[in-house]
Structure 1
Amino acid sequence: MSIFKPLKGFTYNKEKVDIKTVIAPPYDVINEEQKEQLYKSSEYNICHIELPKGEDSNKYLHAKELINSWIDKKILLQENDENYYLYQQTFNLEGQLIQRRSILGLLEIHAFEDRIILPHENTMEGPKKDRYSLLEATQANISPIFCMCNDETGDLFQLLENYSQTQPTFTTNDVTETQHDLWKINDVQVIQKINELGENKKFIILDGHHRYTTALNYKNNNPNEKNHYVLTALVPDSEPGLKILPIHRMLTSTYTIEGALAVLEKDFEINKVTQDKITIHSAYDTFEENNSQHGFLLTDNKQFYTCMIKQEKFDKLASQSFEMNLDTFIVDEMAIKKMLNEQNIDYLPEQNVNFVTNFDEITSMFNQGSNNLCFLVQPLPIKTIVDFTERNMVMPHKTTYLYPKIGSGFVINKF
């Protein structure tokens, strides 16, 4: 089994920087406009290292120079002793205030074949090369990967909840008004308890597959003891604040909604959603509340249809492929690829498909005329992720969206 252990982390010096101005979301959700805003917020914003300026290999050299200079200037301070860090995010989701707690530490790296660290989703190749170059240059984990472990007794959740009642090391809010609290855990007995609770576990990667694969490749190419661990935010599966949002598909094509329905009617039971003053929010609520079958909600922003796979069809295909338990798989394979006549491709074509997670973005894209159809799916239960990993299977690209993302810049592992 793997080892989860404390670290001598680097954190920002509160006497020299305003924490709010130096943290950032993980690199893979930052668009160009957000990147420029983060650059401007502070010369020490972590985005300067996560997404460094420059061309080709020069940008990685720039990131290396930056992190070393910040350490020299004591902008970043390293702990004298090994600690864990309790990291709590308080966020608003559909009008409800939710807290999610995880613990930051170092996770021992294992090959996926060892069945100790388990991926749950396919990843594309490009970002891995970029992350490898950054890791090689900086010799640092800037952003943690996000993993889940079994907590059948609830002991790890209870420990984190109890510790969160103490005074945090710092508190700050980001631009989305998500509150971030960080506690340094340096109590020897608490550290020992976490060590024990982390023993004999398997770890499912929820987010950060590229970062983990990068760390694995780097370890294999540089088999030094210090390279055998990766910065990880570990959440117990008993955490009620662990939320996975659905990833909807926006399609650009020549199809009208009537044309799409004509293609789909062979395999799906189709029903029109009729409401007074119907909106995407109200139609989705109806879809989510009334459907226990697999399928999706189809809309052109004017009309709304539930498309649920016919039971006979589902039973036949599900006996051949466990992936039929994923609504995103059904949308991708039985709707979008079929409509585009592209059934032999691994990934949906970017020129035709956008992936979105919130209704406001969907409405905006419809208003801009950039997409003409949207396929909305239901949230994925945590249990489905566990079922897939236990079967040694990974989910299709863009199946899950962890919300909120683990922030970048709170703790850095420099090796």
Structure 2
Amino acid sequence: MLVRDETPSLYLYDEEYQATGIGKVVRQGFIALARLEDFATGVVKPHEKTLSGPKADRLELTKACRANFSPIFGLYSDPCCVQEALTWEIKKRVPDLEVMDDDGVVHRLWQVTDRTVFKKIRDMLDNKPLFIADGHHRYETALNYRNLRRDQDPDFSGKELYNYVLMYFANMEDQGMLIFPTHRLVHGLQDFRLEPLLTSVGEYFQVEAHTFDPDDAESRQQMRSLLQQRGEDKVALGLYGGGDTLYLLILKDKKLMDGFFDAKTSKALRTLDVSVLHRVVLEKGLHISLEAQEAQTHLTYVKNFDEPFSLVRSGQCQLAFLMNPTRMSQVRDVANAGEKMPQKSTYFYP
């Protein structure tokens, strides 16, 4: 049963979970309506590419139900953490809703009806761009639905509810705001052999071979830590083709990426780990075209670090590429440049 609140409200929303190697993490934000803005205005900025199929399905769903079922995940930058300071007292009271999901994430929700708080939060967000963290397809669908309804409405005023979309707002400066990687698996390549690939990418990468036990969780974690260490100040990719060897591919020089992009492409996009993987290794090394990559031909994406090893060893996949997470600053820089990352470049959890 759904019940409409009697008074205008926004909702403080905390998510608490355990992160591997970190411990307890609490991500803070709030849920409210956001006025839809075309990307051309620069008010709302995407950072990932979208597919036409999902947008068509979502538009039909929106037309049938006239409802938002899942909020857009929007990021803003506020080093002063104004919203957190404003709502600290409110969170001293018992949450209006608290529940643990099947993944062990604790969700807490507080309803806020104080218009003074509304105004201060609006003032804090005034003239700040919003970056879409997750929900690119949903946001573009909301734009398409607004345009459709606007064209059908002779009395359009701009105040209709379809001019707004449900959004979860979160501060990208919040310590609980983490990005996790999405790993790539390759399958279905004809006549694939690992050794020629390693030789080919050696022109661009320093290749390190590390022996480990893929059946041992601690050994896999050591490889994960090593990948993270190598990626602290360089582009580092993990490559697993079976057996007991993990290869680390360390980009020799970021300037090498200039040859894979036109001069207008920002350095932020050229030097992303995922850009390096998709252009140098997948396209040039494995001959998987950018069009095939976008169609996810020969590619599967997984979020769990351990899963790629079993998928390669079982023969379901030929290769696994283990990734480091994209940094928050990279998301901001690419979006500010008006560019979009490859699909599955970011994984905001939960």
Measured against the shorter chain, the TM-score band is: 0.7 to 0.9
- Alignment partner of 1:357 out of 303, 314, 318: 303
Tell whether the 8 Å contact from 2:184 to 2:299 is kept in structure 1 after alignment.
Answer: yes
Aligned counterparts, 1:41-120, within 5 A: 75-95=1-21, 96-120=23-47
User: CA separation in 2, counterparts of 1:160 and 1:384?
Assistant: 29
Work out whether 1:281 is the aligned partner of 2:227: no
TM-score normalised by structure 1 residue count: 0.75
- Alignment partner of 2:237 out of 293, 296, 307: 296
- Give the 3-state SS of the residue equivalent to 1:164 in structure 2: helix
Instruction: Report the number of matched residues.
Output: 330
Tell whether the 8 Å contact from 2:75 to 2:130 is kept in structure 1 after alignment.
Answer: yes
Tell whether the 8 Å contact from 2:186 to 2:320 is kept in structure 1 after alignment.
Answer: yes
User: CA separation in 2, counterparts of 1:316 and 1:367?
Assistant: 35
- Alignment partner of 1:146 out of 73, 89, 103: 73
User: CA separation in 1, counterparts of 2:230 and 2:311?
Assistant: 27
Aligned to 1:23: none
Deviations 1:323-342 (A, max 9, x none): 22211111111111224323
Aligned counterparts, 1:174-253, within 5 A: 174-223=101-150, 224=156, 225-252=160-187, 253=189
Aligned to 2:204: 267
User: CA separation in 1, counterparts of 2:199 and 2:67?
Assistant: 53
User: CA separation in 2, counterparts of 1:238 and 1:309?
Assistant: 29
Identify if the C-alpha distance between structure 1 residues 213 and 92 changes in structure 2 by more than 3 Å, giving closer, same or farther: same
User: CA separation in 2, counterparts of 1:295 and 1:319?
Assistant: 23
User: CA separation in 1, counterparts of 2:230 and 2:124?
Assistant: 40
- Tell me by how many angstroms 1:344 deviates: 5.0
Work out whether 1:385 is the aligned partner of 2:331: yes
Aligned counterparts, 1:340-355, within 5 A: 340-343=286-289, 345=291, 347-355=293-301
User: CA separation in 2, counterparts of 1:106 and 1:114?
Assistant: 18
Aligned to 1:9: none
- Tell me by how many angstroms 1:152 deviates: 3.0
User: CA separation in 2, counterparts of 1:193 and 1:354?
Assistant: 44
User: CA separation in 1, counterparts of 2:295 and 2:284?
Assistant: 13
Work out whether 1:306 is the aligned partner of 2:248: yes
Deviations 1:168-196 (A, max 9, x none): 00111111011111111112322232222
Aligned to 2:274: 328
Tell whether the 8 Å contact from 1:157 to 1:238 is kept in structure 2 after alignment.
Answer: no
Identify if the C-alpha distance between structure 1 residues 381 and 161 changes in structure 2 by more than 3 Å, giving closer, same or farther: farther
Deviations 1:77-134 (A, max 9, x none): 0001100001111111105111001110000001111111110110111110111111
Tell whether the 8 Å contact from 2:77 to 2:128 is kept in structure 1 after alignment.
Answer: yes
- Tell me by how many angstroms 1:351 deviates: 4.2
User: CA separation in 2, counterparts of 1:142 and 1:315?
Assistant: 40
User: CA separation in 2, counterparts of 1:356 and 1:203?
Assistant: 27
- Tell me by how many angstroms 1:299 deviates: 1.2
Aligned Cα RMSD in Å? 2.1
Tell whether the 8 Å contact from 1:90 to 1:180 is kept in structure 2 after alignment.
Answer: yes
User: CA separation in 2, counterparts of 1:281 and 1:168?
Assistant: 36
Tell whether the 8 Å contact from 1:157 to 1:239 is kept in structure 2 after alignment.
Answer: no
- Tell me by how many angstroms 1:397 deviates: 1.3
- Tell me by how many angstroms 1:155 deviates: 1.0
Aligned counterparts, 1:14-25, within 5 A: none
Tell whether the 8 Å contact from 1:101 to 1:160 is kept in structure 2 after alignment.
Answer: no
Tell whether the 8 Å contact from 2:50 to 2:136 is kept in structure 1 after alignment.
Answer: yes
- Tell me by how many angstroms 1:260 deviates: 2.2
- Tell me by how many angstroms 1:207 deviates: 0.3
Tell whether the 8 Å contact from 1:295 to 1:331 is kept in structure 2 after alignment.
Answer: no
Deviations 1:25-65 (A, max 9, x none): xxxxxxxxxxxxxxxxxxxxxxxxxxxxxxxxxxxxxxxxx
Tell whether the 8 Å contact from 1:85 to 1:104 is kept in structure 2 after alignment.
Answer: yes
User: CA separation in 2, counterparts of 1:239 and 1:386?
Assistant: 14
User: CA separation in 2, counterparts of 1:305 and 1:99?
Assistant: 34
- Tell me by how many angstroms 1:141 deviates: 0.6
- Tell me by how many angstroms 1:142 deviates: 0.8
User: Unpaired runs of 5+ in structure 1?
Assistant: 1-74, 405-415
Aligned to 1:36: none
User: Unpaired runs of 5+ in structure 2?
Assistant: 151-155
Work out whether 1:369 is the aligned partner of 2:279: no
Q: Report the residue type matching 2:322 in the other structure.
A: L
Q: Report the residue type matching 1:331 in the other structure.
A: L
Tell whether the 8 Å contact from 2:239 to 2:320 is kept in structure 1 after alignment.
Answer: yes
Q: Report the residue type matching 1:392 in the other structure.
A: G
- Give the 3-state SS of the residue equivalent to 2:92 in structure 1: coil
Identify if the C-alpha distance between structure 1 residues 280 and 336 changes in structure 2 by more than 3 Å, giving closer, same or farther: farther
- Alignment partner of 1:166 out of 55, 69, 93: 93
